[in-house]
Amino acid sequence: MTLFDTHCHLMDEQFSDDVDLVIQGARAAGVKYIVVPAIDVVTARRAIAIAERYEGVYAAVGIHPESAKDVPACDFDEVERLAAHQKVVAIGEIGLDYYWDAAPRPEQQAVLRRQIELAKRVDLPIIIHNRESTKDVVDVLRDAGAAEVGGVMHCFNETLDVAEKCMALGFYISFGGPVTFKKAEDVREVAAQIPDDRILIETDSPYLSPHPFRGKRNEPARVRLVAEQIAQVRGVDVDVLAAQTTANALALFRGVKPYGE
Ligand SMILES: [Zn+2]
Ligand SMILES: [Zn+2]
């Protein structure tokens, strides 16, 4: 089985002591590909450094909405410069977060727009974070012409109607650990209905560990539990779901080289 964890923050401090072991564990579980999204320029450099060390591990560079307050112009230049690195396969994670509201909403939107423009210049897909900001995220993606580069709505936790709007803009829908939570009937229902060629899986490690590890540090090996849960609600074998989601991720992240090549 070949699994692809499309969203895994291996550059997080929680992995600084044992990233080697975590990646070994992932490989043993069949996770051959991992994308490590940054949240700012410092973590972007760290994500690239990790990607350089391991086959199958790639980076995304970008400024997260929680880091979107008073971003200096030089940080956008640095993101654009880093985006040229061979192992950078996306701009992310970027988006809007109206739960934490770490920056004023118009400022978050401006930072998002600016990075969509950047993604178009460097021709990379985007990884979108959305928390309690669905309407504005969809509006910005549409108005800024994000369909030109496409991308993924990470850790999707919205309705099928929202998923359809995002898919119409060329986006994939990615599900993480919450799909395994007891009370997550709604998101499981959505995961059951996403078309075969639009669905992705992720862990968002070190956050959002799937059941029965909820509350513990998450790691990429556990994307398998996400795959098993989604396969079950879709009524397919987990091998089929794994093959499908890996093929989709390889189609989206064009910079990822199939293993062994
Ligand atoms: Zn996120
Ligand atoms: Zn994340």
What angle (nearest 5°) sits at the alpha carbon of residue 145, between those of residues 134 and 6? 60
With beta carbons less than 8 A apart as the criterion, state whether 97 and 66 touch. yes
Q: How far is the CA of 154 from the centre of ligand 1 (A)?
A: 7
Q: How far is the CA of 204 from the centre of ligand 2 (A)?
A: 5
Q: How far is the CA of 260 from the centre of ligand 1 (A)?
A: 30
Q: How far is the CA of 242 from the centre of ligand 1 (A)?
A: 22
Q: Where are the domains of the chain?
A: 3-252
In 3D space, the residue among 163, 186, 171 whose CA is nearest the CA of residue 141 turns out to be 171
Give CA–CA dist 152/162, Å, rounded: 13
Q: How far is the CA of 101 from the centre of ligand 2 (A)?
A: 16
Maximum distance among all Cα pairs of the chain, rounded to whole angstroms: 49
Q: How far is the CA of 203 from the centre of ligand 1 (A)?
A: 11
Question: For residue 129, which ligand has an atom nearest its CA?
Answer: 1
User: Residue-wise pLDDT tens for the chain (261 aa)?
Assistant: 999 999 999 999 999 999 999 999 999 999 999 999 999 999 999 999 999 999 999 999 999 999 999 999 999 999 999 999 999 999 999 999 999 999 999 999 999 999 999 999 999 999 999 999 999 999 999 999 999 999 999 999 999 999 999 999 999 999 999 999 999 999 999 999 999 999 999 999 999 999 999 999 999 999 999 999 999 999 999 999 999 999 999 999 999 998 765
Give CA–CA dist 28/224, Å, rounded: 11
What values do phi and psi take at 194, rounded to 5? -70, 135
In 3D space, the residue among 117, 225, 230, 135 whose CA is nearest the CA of residue 174 turns out to be 230
Distance of CA 41 to the CA centre of its chain: 17
Domain 3-252: give its CATH architecture. Alpha-Beta Barrel (3.20)
pLDDT at 89: 98
DSSP 8-state class, residue 13:
G
Give CA–CA dist 87/82, Å, rounded: 10
- Collapsing DSSP states into helix, strand and coil, what is residue 98? coil
Q: How far is the CA of 63 from the centre of ligand 1 (A)?
A: 11
